[in-house]
Structure 1
Amino acid sequence: MEAYKHENILHKRQFNLQFSIRFETVDDVNFYSPFHWHNHIEILYLIDGEIDFKVEQRKYTLTDGDMIIVNSEMIHSSKLCGHANYILFQVPLSAFEGIYEDVESVRLKEKPDTAETRQLVASLNKMLSCVDDKKEESRVKFISLLYDFLFVLLSSYQVEQTKTTGVFANSGINRISPVMSYVEKNFRSKISLSDAADIINVTPEHLCRIFKKYTDMTFNDYLMSLRISAFYQALQTTDKKISVILEESGITNYKVFIREFKKTFGKTPEMIRNEKKVAVTG
């Protein structure tokens, strides 16, 4: 099951910076984020638990002590297998404005080895200690550590680009991003391929071709994935009837939905709902 959307990154820690970052320790259970992309460099370090992570067609199973670096505008998804505790760091390319002009063409090593991970997480922990310190001087120290960290990434973790991982690939994502945004906002309603194609003034057939070319997935897979994600989150966080959640998630073909849902989670919605009840009462 493959799909993506553009993700808007918001401040999680306020430092009055001229750009928005997300930097925090996350404790979560059974979270599913379908394919998406953003104009940020993202680093995830797994403290404990297990996360199935996918960057384009590359699959990773992250366990305790693993790290993943997601380059800007790379489509990626994640699925937590039960409970997971991790450090999440996301910084926009705008942080490099006036400092490193060619940052859009930079590609960083996606899967650091054990020694590299130790080096990077040590820096992240120093930054976290400044975030938690209420002294005003710690804000200054945080900014210093932030750019030290970015320097290490740029100087030690750059990798050689290929045609499919460089600017060429990104231009394709940007071309169909209006379609992604439209579907992300309207997936709960009836959406036709023709409506989506009109957004970028192409035929439905051409949209199918370029969507597949630049994402290696179909338009319908993308739409279904957003609906599955919305359904799954509601299943976890509300006590609404499954039939109601289906309708609210824009799902009309139950047979197709159940098949794709089981591909993603290995279980039916009823099984997940029952597991939740046992966990609450147990």
Structure 2
Amino acid sequence: MKCLQEQAADGTHLLFLAAVYKLLYLLYTKDAATVDHVLRHRSRRDFERIEQSMQYVKRNYTNPITLKETADELSLTPEYFCRLFKKYTGQTFLTYVNQIRLQYFHSDLLQTDESITYLMNKNGITNYKVFLRSFKEAYGMPPGQLRKKQREVRDAGAISARSASSSGND
């Protein structure tokens, strides 16, 4: 106790505290820069992983794709990958996979005469009920109706183009 009173009287404890605070400040500012660097590096690496996962889906959308399989491809746990994907894309991984399949299906639907069942299988779609609901949400009608409507529009355009060219010949 007497030792503390002596230190208090001559002010050495204040010098000691000043040195401790200075050390804490240096550690904090150095660590803050290190933390900032790590976070930027980690964010870039995480973003690259999400891009890799999206490319993986686009290369493999015709095959069954699981969250675990994709996370394994990236050396991540499925839980972490799931959170990371949602953070960077705003949607779940499964929603993204289904969206890609839907886009390719839609393109095939309008560009080919293949059956809807064939196109579903070709594009990796296995659950017709879920797919049909998603398709209707995205395009406002079932696939068969959309194809029929698109053909009617295309045929009407061809007829009006023919009638315009034949009336110009008169």
Smaller-chain TM-score range?
A: 0.5 to 0.7
In the other structure, the counterpart of 1:240 is 114
Pick from 85, 88, 91 the counterpart of residue 217 of structure 1: 91
1:180 maps to 2:54: yes
Distance in 1, matches of 2:140 and 2:90, equals 23
Offset at residue 277 of structure 1 (A): 2.6
- TM-score scaled to structure 2, two decimals? 0.63
1:172 to 1:202, Cα distance in 2 relative to 1, 3 A: closer
In the other structure, the counterpart of 2:22 is none
Segments of 5+ residues of structure 2 without an aligned counterpart are 1-39, 157-170
Count of matched residue positions in the alignment of Structure 1 and Structure 2: 117
Contact 1:169 1:214 (8 Å CA) reproduced: no
In the other structure, the counterpart of 1:262 is 136
Distance in 1, matches of 2:54 and 2:46, equals 12
Q: CA RMSD in A?
A: 2.0
Offset at residue 185 of structure 1 (A): 0.1
Between Structure 1 and Structure 2, which shows a larger proportion of helix residues?
A: 2
Offset at residue 274 of structure 1 (A): 1.0
1:251 maps to 2:125: yes
Contact 1:231 1:249 (8 Å CA) reproduced: yes
Offset at residue 168 of structure 1 (A): 8.6
Letter in 2 for 1:202: L
1:205 maps to 2:49: no
Deviation string 1:72-123 (CA, Å, 9 cap, x unpaired) is xxxxxxxxxxxxxxxxxxxxxxxxxxxxxxxxxxxxxxxxxxxxxxxxxxxx
Letter in 1 for 2:93: F
1:226 maps to 2:97: no
Offset at residue 257 of structure 1 (A): 0.6
Contact 1:178 1:199 (8 Å CA) reproduced: no
- SS of 1:244's equivalent in the other structure is helix
Higher relative contact order, chain-length normalized (CA < 8 Å, sep 6+): 1
Distance in 2, matches of 1:189 and 1:173, equals 24
Distance in 1, matches of 2:120 and 2:112, equals 13
In the other structure, the counterpart of 2:164 is none
- SS of 2:71's equivalent in the other structure is helix
Please show how residues 19-38 of structure 1 align to structure 2 within 5 Å.
none
- SS of 1:190's equivalent in the other structure is coil
Letter in 2 for 1:193: L
**Structure 1 runs (4+) greater than 2 angstroms displaced:** 166-173, 279-282
Distance in 2, matches of 1:201 and 1:172, equals 12
Between Structure 1 and Structure 2, which shows a larger proportion of strand residues?
A: 1
Distance in 1, matches of 2:102 and 2:147, equals 15
Distance in 1, matches of 2:148 and 2:120, equals 17
Letter in 2 for 1:211: F
Contact 1:189 1:250 (8 Å CA) reproduced: yes
Percent same amino acid among aligned pairs?
37
Pick from 133, 147, 154 the counterpart of residue 273 of structure 1: 147
Segments of 5+ residues of structure 1 without an aligned counterpart are 1-165
Contact 1:231 1:246 (8 Å CA) reproduced: yes
Contact 1:235 1:245 (8 Å CA) reproduced: yes
Structure number with bigger Rg: 2
1:196 maps to 2:70: yes
